[in-house]
């Protein structure tokens, strides 16, 4: 059998780059649990040389390591390998698996294995690559790179490609930041996923159904070095697409917390306006728009409002006969608004409300508008959480509406419905106590 191979052609008149070849290795038999994978590869590539890179399909690594599971249900195996569901559509699940990889079905594969069994990914693909590299050094006395590959789909792109899930002796990322391109322009964001490019090149000659699980790249010795495929997994804090659409909505809802301590980091006004855009999609009676958001973006505006509110509060507490010590304690507890770098005051307007001239029906009409305003504020808080902003909805403006309207120069029919403190949380949120949804449900 002739092994498929690929040699890139040099074109144009520019100085050619490094020439390399990629070829699939033939003669590797069906791999069984306990097989010496290094010995099988060494027998198929006795000419292996320093600087070569081997691209090894994860399936044969899994088989050699005994990662074969008798399973009546592939879904149960996927459940067992899943750490976090990223997105779900029908029976398809994109998940984060035990290896930290985000992929379809946790990498559990029912193909290329006997009926009634499934293949799991290697338990530690980087460790598998290191062991294979060390064993080949002992077998043949060569210094090679090893990349363990698997097939992924990709966000934004149709089709599948091989990527690196384990690596040893290969620089998996090539950080070009700080350099310049051919025109002298600075490279500010260019980090090349070298190991993934190698994996994809190997897939060109291995194929998906050719029974050729290993490819050899020759001529790219400069990619050898220290590296781990873990470096290719994006840090969660930098991952803008960590969740699917419906999962992101649920995550924002469940991760929303009342945050009372903020960093000094400034708040992006654009993020707040995006949250307002989400707020005004809430349901409301009679096709009305009962929401207004007053955004206090200057220190003077925040301080002016909070000082006036504090004076009004202190006056109320004194009228109630509270001691000066008790008043001071209460005022200190209210400092969550003062310590926030950004404030928003949601207001309700009842333009479009029906007037029945009947106390009970008019009271119900007002309640509908209050509920709609609350729905808008909930949307606002959840959207802020989606922007990685903490918030605290504090009721204080409802107790001194005349003061708030006067200081902020608001129309008489705007009813302040609390104030929302906004900022970057100063510490990770505490675990929310578990609540059984069934405790809040009555079925009739």
Specify the pLDDT at position 195.
95
Specify the pLDDT at position 186.
78
Specify the pLDDT at position 16.
53
Whether 136 and 144 have beta carbons less than 8 Å apart is answered as: yes
Q: What is the pLDDT of residues 396-438, one digit of tens each?
A: 889 899 999 999 999 999 999 999 999 999 998 888 888 898 9
Give residue 393's pLDDT band: very low, low, confident or very high (50, 70, 90): very high
Listing DSSP states for 37-94 in one string gives HHHHHHHH-TT--TT-EEEEEHHHHHHHTT-EEE-S-HHHHHHHHEEEEEEEETTEEE
Q: Which residue has the tokens 């193909």?
A: 111
Q: Is the pLDDT of residue 287 over 80?
A: yes
State the average pLDDT over residues 6-11. 54
Specify the pLDDT at position 415.
96
The more confident residue out of 11 and 53 is 53
Q: What is the pLDDT of residues 428-437, one digit of tens each?
A: 888 888 889 8
Q: Which long-range contacts (CB under 8 A, 24 or more apart) does 272-278 make?
A: 272/342, 272/344, 272/384, 272/389, 272/422, 274/383, 274/387, 275/379, 275/380, 275/381, 275/383, 275/384, 275/387, 275/389, 276/380, 277/383, 278/379, 278/380, 278/382, 278/383
The more confident residue out of 5 and 259 is 259
State the chain's mean pLDDT as an integer: 89
Please state, in angstroms and rounded to a whole number, the distance separating the CA atoms of residues 161 and 383. 35
Question: Is 184 strand, coil or helix?
Answer: coil
Instruction: Pull the structure tokens for residue 302.
Output: 């925040």
Q: Is the pLDDT of residue 353 over 70?
A: yes
Q: Is the pLDDT of residue 108 over 80?
A: yes
CB-based burial label for 319 (10 Å; 0-12, 13-18, 19+):
exposed
Give residue 12's pLDDT band: very low, low, confident or very high (50, 70, 90): very low
Whether 182 and 237 have beta carbons less than 8 Å apart is answered as: no
329-368 burial code (b ≥16 CB/10 A, e <16): eeeeeeebbbebbbbbbbbbbbeebeeeeeeeeeeebeeb
Please state, in angstroms and rounded to a whole number, the distance separating the CA atoms of residues 30 and 41. 12
Q: What are the phi and psi torsion angles at 441 (to 5°)?
A: -120, 135
In what helix (H) or strand (E) does residue 95 lie, and over which residues does it extend?
Answer: strand 92-97
How far from 203 is each of 45, 210, 230, 318, CA to CA, in Å?
18, 11, 21, 78
Give residue 87's pLDDT band: very low, low, confident or very high (50, 70, 90): confident
Strand duo 390-394 + 291-296: pairing:
unpaired
State what percent of residues in the chain have pLDDT above 90.
Answer: 60
Question: Is 425 strand, coil or helix?
Answer: strand
Q: 17: alpha, beta or left, given left = phi > 0 and alpha = psi -120 to 50? A: beta
Task: State if pTM tops 0.85.
Answer: no
State the average pLDDT over residues 154-160. 87
Q: Is the pLDDT of residue 271 over 90?
A: yes
Q: What is the pLDDT of residues 241-251, one digit of tens each?
A: 777 767 777 77
Ordered structural domains, the chain, with CATH: 17-67+122-238 (3.30.1330.100), 245-440 (3.40.109.10)
Q: What is the pLDDT of residues 33-45, one digit of tens each?
A: 999 999 999 999 9
Specify the pLDDT at position 15.
44
Whether 275 and 420 have beta carbons less than 8 Å apart is answered as: no
State the average pLDDT over residues 150-169. 92
Specify the pLDDT at position 333.
66
Residue 194: name the closest of 217, 168, 164 by CA.
164
């Amino acid at each position: 059998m002739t092994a498929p191979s690929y040699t890139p052609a040099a074109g144009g008149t520019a100085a050619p780059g490094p020439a390399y070849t990629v070829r699939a290795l033939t003669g590797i038999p069906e791999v069984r649990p306990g097989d010496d994978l290094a010995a099988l590869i060494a027998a198929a590539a006795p000419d292996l040389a320093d600087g070569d890179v081997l691209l090894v399909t994860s399936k044969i690594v899994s088989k050699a390591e005994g990662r074969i599971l008798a399973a009546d249900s592939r879904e149960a195996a996927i459940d067992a390998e899943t750490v976090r569901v990223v997105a779900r559509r029908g029976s398809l699940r994109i998940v984060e698996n035990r290896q930290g990889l985000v992929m379809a079905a946790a990498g559990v594969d029912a193909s290329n294995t006997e009926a009634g069994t499934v293949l799991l990914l290697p338990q530690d693909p980087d460790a598998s690559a290191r062991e294979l590299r060390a064993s080949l050094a002992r077998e043949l006395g060569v210094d090679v790179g090893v990349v363990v590959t698997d097939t992924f789909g990709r966000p934004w792109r149709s089709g599948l490609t091989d990527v690196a899930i384990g690596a040893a002796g290969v620089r998996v990322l090539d950080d070009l930041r700080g350099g310049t391109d051919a025109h002298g322009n600075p490279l500010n964001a260019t980090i090349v996923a070298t190991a993934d490019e190698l994996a994809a090149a190997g897939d060109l000659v291995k194929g998906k159904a050719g029974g050729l699980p290993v490819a050899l790249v020759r001529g790219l010795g400069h990619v050898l070095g220290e590296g781990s495929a873990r470096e290719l997994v994006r840090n969660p804090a930098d991952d803008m697409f960590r969740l699917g659409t419906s999962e992101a909505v649920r995550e924002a809802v469940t991760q929303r917390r009342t945050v009372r301590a903020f960093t000094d980091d400034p708040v992006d006004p654009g993020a707040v306006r995006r949250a307002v855009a989400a707020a005004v999609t809430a349901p409301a009676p009679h096709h009305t728009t009962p929401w207004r958001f007053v955004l206090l973006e200057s220190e003077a505006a925040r301080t002016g409002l909070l000082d006036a509110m504090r004076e009004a509060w202190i006056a109320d507490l004194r009228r109630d006969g509270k001691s000066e010590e008790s008043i001071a304690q209460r005022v200190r507890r209210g400092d969550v608004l003062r310590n926030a770098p950004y404030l928003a005051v949601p207001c309700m307007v009842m333009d479009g409300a029906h007037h029945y001239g009947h106390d009970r029906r008019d009271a119900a009409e007002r309640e509908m508008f209050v509920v709609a305003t609350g729905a808008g504020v909930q949307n606002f808080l959840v959207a802020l959480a989606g922007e990685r902003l903490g918030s605290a909805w504090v009721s204080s403006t409802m107790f001194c509406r005349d003061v708030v309207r006067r200081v902020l120069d608001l129309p008489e029919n705007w009813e302040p419905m609390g104030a929302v403190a906004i900022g970057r949380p100063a510490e990770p949120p505490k675990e929310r106590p578990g609540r059984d949804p069934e405790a809040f449900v009555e079925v009739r």
